[in-house]
Structure 1
Amino acid sequence: MIDIIEKMKTEMLRRKYSIRTITAYCDVVIKFLKKTRIEDVRRIKKSDIKDYLNSLHEKSGSTINVHLNALKFMMEEILHKNCYVHIKYSKVPLKETDWLTKEETLSLFDAIENEKHKLMIMFLYSSGMRVSELVNLKVCDIDFNKNSGIIRHGKGNKDRIFIIAQKIKRDLMEFIRNNKTNNLTGNAYLFKGRNGHISQRMIQVILNNAAEKAKITKNVHPHVLRHSFAKHLEFNGSSPFTIQALLGHSDLRTTMRYLHTSVPVIGVKSPIDSL
C-alpha cells in the first residue's frame, strides 16, 4: 500500500496537483484498499472498483466523483491499466448559491467590533478570495501602487490577480505599517495566528458571531462572501468574463453557477424584432 501511495504522490506533485487534491486522492485509495482487502494492487479488477463505488451510494454525488477520479488516476496513470468502469458520473444537482444582499453585507461588517477581524472579513468579501487564499496571503503578495495583489498557488495550483478596494486600502496599509514591529513585512503572513497564519476556523467563528449579532438568518460562511462578491459585481454591470477572471475559474460554466439565477431573461427582445 505504501508503495502505490508514494508513487501517486510523486506523480501528482510532478503534475503540480494541489496539496488538497493529492491528500484527497491518496485517502480514497487507502480506503479502497482497506475495504477490498487487496494486498497486491496489480490484481485490482474493474469489478472491484465498480463494487466499491456502488457501496458509496449513500454519499453525495461530488464525493462519489472524487472517489471515481482518484481510482481512475491510480489505475491509468500509475498502474497503466485501462479503467473503463461502466458507472456514470454522479451529477451534483444545481441549486441557487447562497449569497448576501448588499444591505446584509453592510450589516455583517457593522456587527464586527474588532478592527482586525473587520478588516479580514471586508478584505475577504471585497477581493472575492477563497478563505484558504486569504489566510495564506503574505505581505509581499500585495502591490498598493497597482491596487492589486497576487494569489500564489491557489486552487488547482494556479496564480491569479485580485483587486484591492479603495474602501479598505488605507486601513490595510495602516494595519501593515502599525504591525511592522511584529515582523509584518516581506514574506510574513498578512494575518498572523498562533502557529503561523490565522486559521480558517477563526474566520468562520468571526462570521458566525457577526451574523448572529446582525440577525442574519442565512448560513453565513466564508464562501457565501465569495458568492456575494460575484453577485454584486454582476448587479453593478460587470461581465461574466470579468467575474470569471477575478474568481479564478478556468471554466466560465463554473462562474455561471454563481450568476445564473440573476441573469436577466424577461424583457429581452428577440433578434427577429429588429429585422
Structure 2
Amino acid sequence: MLLQDVIGEYLDDLEGRNYSEKTTGDYGNELKRFRLWVEGEFNGPVYAEELAEGTVEDYFSHLDRDGISPVYRNKILYILRGFFEHTSARGITGELTGGMRLAKTRSKQRDYLTDREMGGVLEAMGNPLIRQVTIFLYNTGARIGECLSLELGDLDFKNREIKIRKGKGNKDRRLPMNTRLAEELAAYIEGTRPEMGTERVFISPLSGGLSQSYYNRRLKRAVRKAGIENKQITAHCIRHSTAMRMREQGVDIYTIKEQLGHEEIATTSIYLHSEMEEMKKAVETI
C-alpha cells in the first residue's frame, strides 16, 4: 500500500476519533514532509511496506542537519510514533520508532494570570461573548476546544455539573460548576445568548461559530488593554491560571489533575515546579 494512502487512512482515523482540526492538520503536515523526504530518497512513490528499520533515524539525521530545535524534534517524533504504532498494529510496517528517545529540553516557565490580573482582563473585555468564555475557562480549567464544543445539554444546573464530551484522548469527564459560574452561565443563556438554531453554548450573533484563533486575538487585546505587557497570554494560559489559583488555595495536585483532565500526574506536576520557583524567590528575601 502506498505510503501516501496509508497516511491518508491514518488521518481519517484521527478525525474519526474526534481529534481537533488543528491537531489533525499538524499531523498531516509533518507526515507529508516525512513522505516527501522518503520519496526523495527512493526517487519516487514508496510502498509503506518498503520502509525499513533505520528510516526514521535517517530522517532525523536529515532534520538535525537543518538545526531543528529539541521541542520541534520531539513533536515530530511524537507524531511519527503514533503513525507507526498504527501501521505496526495493522501489520503494514514494523514499529520503526521504538528505540528512539525524546530530546532533552529546557523547562519553560509558563505565563499565567493572577486573580487580580484576571479581574483586570475581564473588566477590559468589551465583547460579552469573549468575557463569558473567559469566565468559563477560568472557573473550570477546561481546554478552549472543550469549551467551544460545549452544548446546552452538557450543563446540569440542578447538580452543578458540566459534562465535557470527548475531551483530549477522546474521553468524557465531569467538572463541578461553582456558584459564580452557575450565575454567569444562567444570566448569559437567559439574556445575551443569541438564538441561532444551535445547541452550542457559546455562539456568535453574526456567524454562530467562535474560533479559537478569534478568541485568542480578542483575549490578547484585552490583556494589553489591562496593562499587562510582560506576559504572552493565550486561552491555554487561562487553564494554567486556574491550576495555579487552585494550588494557592491549597488544593492537592491529584485533584488538580482530575480537574484539568490530565492522564498522567507528571503532566500536572509542572504546577509543583512553579510553586517551587516562587518558594525559591521567597527565601531570597529572608
* TM-score (norm: length of structure 1): 0.84
> Counterpart of 1:219?
232
> Counterpart of 1:27?
29
> Counterpart of 1:199?
211
Report the alpha carbon displacement of residue 265 of structure 1 after superposing the two structures with TM. Answer: 7.0
Distance 2:104 2:97 in 1: 18
Across the aligned residues of Structure 1 and Structure 2, the Cα RMSD in angstroms comes to 2.6
> Counterpart of 1:273?
none
Does residue 45 of structure 1 match 2:56? no
Spell out, residue by residue over 1:177-199, the C-alpha distance to the aligned partner (whole angstroms, 9 max, x if none). Answer: 23677156xx6111113554311
1:252–1:176: structure 2 CA closer, same or farther, 3 Å change rule? same
Spell out, residue by residue over 1:73-107, the C-alpha distance to the aligned partner (whole angstroms, 9 max, x if none). Answer: 33533423242565431133222221112211111
Q: Is the 1:97–1:257 Cα contact (8 Å) retained in structure 2?
A: no
* Amino acid paired to 2:139: S
Alignment of 1:141-160 (within 5 A): 141-160=154-173
Distance 1:224 1:43 in 2: 43
- The sequence identity of aligned pairs, in percent, is 26
| Structure 2 gap segments, 5+ residues each | 281-286
Does residue 124 of structure 1 match 2:126? no
> Counterpart of 1:190?
201
Q: Is the 1:119–1:168 Cα contact (8 Å) retained in structure 2?
A: no
1:65–1:216: structure 2 CA closer, same or farther, 3 Å change rule? same
Distance 1:97 1:257 in 2: 9
* TM-score (norm: length of structure 2): 0.81
Distance 1:31 1:180 in 2: 43
Distance 1:84 1:28 in 2: 15
Between the two proteins, the alignment pairs up a number of residues equal to: 263
Does residue 18 of structure 1 match 2:19? yes
1:99–1:144: structure 2 CA closer, same or farther, 3 Å change rule? same
Report the alpha carbon displacement of residue 239 of structure 1 after superposing the two structures with TM. Answer: 0.7
* Alignment match of 2:70 (pick from 61, 82, 87): 61
* Alignment match of 2:153 (pick from 117, 140, 146): 140
1:56–1:100: structure 2 CA closer, same or farther, 3 Å change rule? same
Q: Which moved more, 1:89-98 or 1:119-128?
A: 89-98
> Counterpart of 1:251?
264
* Alignment match of 1:260 (pick from 270, 273, 285): 273
Spell out, residue by residue over 1:32-56, the C-alpha distance to the aligned partner (whole angstroms, 9 max, x if none). Answer: 1112214222222233321211222
Spell out, residue by residue over 1:198-249, the C-alpha distance to the aligned partner (whole angstroms, 9 max, x if none). Answer: 1112211221111111101211111111111001111111111111000000
1:188–1:17: structure 2 CA closer, same or farther, 3 Å change rule? closer
Q: Is the 2:112–2:237 Cα contact (8 Å) retained in structure 1?
A: yes
> Counterpart of 1:269?
none
Report the alpha carbon displacement of residue 12 of structure 1 after superposing the two structures with TM. Answer: 5.1
Alignment of 1:72-83 (within 5 A): 72=81, 73-74=83-84, 76-78=88-90, 79-83=92-96
